[in-house]
Every structure is written in C-alpha cells, then in structure tokens.
Amino acid sequence: MESHNAEGPSNNPQRSPGELVGSAATVNARRAVKAKHIVTVNKRAAEVYDVAQRWVKSLPEVEIVNEKANEVVAWKTHRDARVSHAGSVNVHETADGAAEARIEIDYEPPRVSFGALFDQLTSALLGER
C-alpha cells in the first residue's frame, strides 16, 4: 500500500494504523534509548542557556527544531546521519537564583534494538534459553 501526505505520494514507509510518525522524525521511538538528566548550576539562566545553545550547535549532522531564547533549545539529526538522536535542553531559574537545565536525549543505537537485548537478558535470567 502506498503512503500519502498532503502533497500526494510519500517516500515514508506505510505505518501501522494509529502509529505516529512523520518525515521529520529521525529517531525510531521503538528502538531509542531515552536519557534524562537535570543539572543545577550557580549561574544565571541566560549563561547556562548560552552554553547549551553553543553545545547543540557544535553537534554534527543536526538541525535546531525549537529555540526560545534563555529557555529551550531542541535538535534532531538529519535523516541520513550516522547516529540518530534528538533532544532538548530546557533552562529555568530556581527560587534561589541558580539555573536548572533539564537535558533530554533520545538516542537510537545503530543496528541493535535495546528492547531485544533486554528480552534476551530477561529470557536468560528466567532460564528460558
């Protein structure tokens, strides 16, 4: 079955009914490893945001997909990137004047499904293999 979008036929593969995917997606949510980390720094939020923004812009094969000065910078890799990942850094000032940066990254390991690895280990632990 051919896939279509608003412009007509699409190069995207046909997906299961209800599966959310778009041509903008670069990380397969079923294979991705999600990492979250919060860092509190005794600096102003604007300074922390500047560091995060420079770091994101230094990543190879990425494009910024969301940016709001001194608050959030988000990125995704290009579709043909060697390693697929997407993420965001959200910065806000705490009540005591420090800055908190919430870092979230979805990373798709090349040619291996972490879910499959967990299934193999679970089966081994349960003596099923």
Q: Domain locations in the chain?
A: 32-125
- How big is the chain by its Cα radius of gyration, in Å? 19
Question: Quick one: 32-125 is in which CATH superfamily?
Answer: START domain (3.30.530.20)
How far is Cα 16 from Cα 106, in angstroms, rounded to an integer?
A: 22
pLDDT for 118: 61
Pair type for strands 72-77 and 84-93: antiparallel
Token pair belonging to 103: 């870092």
Could you report how far apart the first and last alpha carbons of the chain are, in Å? 38
pLDDT in tens, 82-103: 888 999 999 999 999 999 999 9
**Residue 28 backbone phi and psi in degrees, to 5:** -75, 110
Out of 41-50, 76-85, 119-128, least confident range: 119-128
User: Parallel, antiparallel, or unpaired: how do β-strands 4-5 and 62-68 relate?
Assistant: unpaired
CA distances from 65 to 28, 62, 107 (A): 17, 9, 16
Q: pTM for this structure?
A: 0.68
